[in-house]
Amino acid sequence: MPLDRDEFREALLSVMEQKDHWAWPRFTAGEVPRDLLHHHLEQEFASYVRDFPVLVARAYVACPIAEVRRLLVENVYEEETGGLAAGRPHPDLFLEVPRGLQMDLARFEHVTLLPETAAYRAVLDELTEQHGWEVAAAVSTLFLEGTRFERGELDPKAERRPEPPLDRHPLVVHYGLDVERLALTKAHRRVEGAHRAAAWTMLLDHIVPSRRDDVVAAMRRVLEAWLRYRDAVAVACGLAR
């Protein structure tokens, strides 16, 4: 028996509520030595940030539903160009952080992936290329763009994604980053509300019941790969459980 709409929603929320890694509070507490922080930024950039517009575009190309395609292509356009809100491509805005921390930006041109990062990226590529628009849309617009606070996007009584003042951002507080370098964070705060609403509309209103189990299975798979990837990054950054 296929999942009904409410069961599908809860299954997706269950996955997203597990997108929570043991090391993240230590990243935000400034426990990563400054000379190792580049590992985190490089692996994030190469695993998905640089190519995020491509991952979403794969869902767009495969989707036969015009309403969904419009939502997807709007996301792609903003991520690739910044033309709706940010003014610059989002991957370029990401690089303002290592630039502001005076890291060697040449490292970001040819990142050596950790084995777990390579495995994670392979899962992202497979799921966005080989399993239909439904899986590609879920993996890109929900898992990658979303957080463990997704329930708050659907239920006004649930906890929402925190948005502390930018001058309290961990990179500003612990590493001296100039607030102006948080251009991507600013852009996300302008567009993420619309992106979260679009993601849930696509998934809940347009994925037929016969495809829901496949989507949930894919989300669980990418979660497992993400957790292993984040474990490896934590170790590279000098953190241990």
| Per-residue tokens: 2 | 């296929």
**CB neighbour class for 113 (10 Å; exposed up to 12, middle 13-18, buried from 19):** middle
Quick one: pLDDT at residue 83?
Answer: 78
Quick one: pLDDT at residue 191?
Answer: 65
Quote the CA–CA distance of 91 and 176 in Å, as a whole number.
22
Quote the CA–CA distance of 241 and 42 in Å, as a whole number.
22
| Per-residue tokens: 175 | 């590493």
pLDDT in tens, 136-185: 999 999 999 999 999 999 988 889 888 889 999 999 999 999 999 998 88
- Dihedral angle computed from the Cα positions of residues 162, 144, 112 and 92, in that order, rounded to the nearest 10 degrees: -70
Quick one: pLDDT at residue 89?
Answer: 92
The hierarchical CATH code for the domain 5-236 is 1.20.910.10
Cα 154 from chain centroid?
18
Outline where 107-169 has alpha helix (H): 115-129, 132-137, 151-154
Quick one: pLDDT at residue 87?
Answer: 82
Question: What global pTM score does this model have?
Answer: 0.94
Residues of the chain with pLDDT under 50: none
Quick one: pLDDT at residue 193?
Answer: 64
